């Protein structure tokens, strides 16, 4: 039974039928798919700073680190990711700024 109550946590933002409430409505909750940390799904334990291909997908044009609310990464993985990006920047694998 304890398992069920744990899993009910997922349904917090199920939203209302016919979702997509107009912007600015305070009362209505808008439907949003719950993001799952991609690294948890893939069971990543260590994010390598040499993996440029992976890291570039987390630094959009302005070369800023993609925030958690958008990347959907969980806190431990976001931390690893940020660390890896900073290391990669140091050795010119990733840019500090978009010029």
Q: Which stretch binds other proteins (CB under 8 A): 4-12, 21-29, 67-75?
A: 4-12
Q: Would you tell me how many other CB atoms lie within 10 Å of the CB of residue 60?
A: 12
Torsion of CA 43, 59, 56, 97, to 10 degrees: -150
45 near other proteins, rule: CB under 8 A? yes
Contact letters for other proteins, residues 49-88 (x by CB under 8 A): xx------------------------------------x-
> CA-to-CA distance for 49 and 91, rounded, in angstroms?
10
17 near other proteins, rule: CB under 8 A? no
């Amino acid at each position: 039974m304890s398992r069920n109550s744990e899993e009910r946590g997922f349904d917090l933002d199920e939203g209302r039928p016919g979702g997509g409430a107009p912007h600015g409505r305070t009362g209505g909750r808008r439907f949003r798919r719950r993001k799952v940390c991609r690294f948890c799904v893939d069971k990543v334990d260590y994010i390598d700073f040499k993996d440029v291909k992976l890291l570039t997908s987390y630094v959009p044009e302005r070369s800023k680190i993609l925030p958690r609310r958008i990347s959907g990464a969980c806190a431990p993985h976001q931390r690893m990711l940020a660390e890896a990006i900073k290391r990669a920047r140091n050795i010119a694998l990733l840019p500090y700024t978009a010029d």
